[in-house]
């Protein structure tokens, strides 16, 4: 399976079935593990596309699996001070609430 960007006209070219855009977990390790499973289950070439934090994830996974990636304004930081994010958060788009705890970030 090729993971590609589906835009206008892609249905006519038969690409819609090759596009996967999963809802990622707000927990970083879970998000990366979930996409990693999709990559491992793919039966063909995979190209990752990510924006912002998704760009950071795409870059990490592309390096890990030797894939191509398109990064759109990726969150590219060497070290992120995660302590300021500890606490309850709400997903802006879905309203899903989650708690980011001190044991979640890996150093």
pLDDT digits (tens, 9 = 90+) for 12-60: 566 677 788 888 888 888 889 999 999 999 888 899 999 888 888 999 9
With respect to residue 106, please indicate whether it lies within any of the assigned structural domains: no
CA 82 and chain centroid, separation: 18
Q: Which residues constitute the domain of residue 20?
A: 10-78
This prediction's pTM: 0.67
Report percent pLDDT > 70 for the chain: 78
With respect to residue 44, please indicate whether it lies within any of the assigned structural domains: yes
pLDDT range class, residue 105, cuts 50, 70, 90: low
Per-residue b/e over 2-40, b at no fewer than 16 CB within 10 Å?
ebbebeeeeeeeeeeebeeeeebebebeebbebbeeebe
Q: For residue 16, which of 27, 32, 5 has the smallest C-alpha distance?
A: 5
- pLDDT of 64 higher than 70: yes
With respect to residue 59, please indicate whether it lies within any of the assigned structural domains: yes
With respect to residue 4, please indicate whether it lies within any of the assigned structural domains: no
What's the structural domain count of the chain? 1
């Amino acid at each position: 399976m090729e993971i590609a960007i589906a835009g206008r006209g892609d249905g006519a070219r038969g690409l819609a079935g090759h596009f996967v855009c999963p809802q990622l977990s707000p927990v970083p390790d879970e998000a990366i593990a979930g996409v990693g499973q999709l990559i491992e289950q793919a039966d063909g070439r995979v190209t990752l596309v990510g924006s912002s934090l998704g760009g950071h994830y795409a870059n990490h996974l592309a390096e890990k699996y030797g894939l191509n990636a398109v990064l759109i304004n990726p969150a590219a930081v060497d070290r992120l001070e995660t302590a300021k994010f500890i606490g309850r958060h709400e997903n802006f788009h879905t309203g899903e609430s989650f708690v980011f705890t001190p044991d979640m970030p890996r150093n």
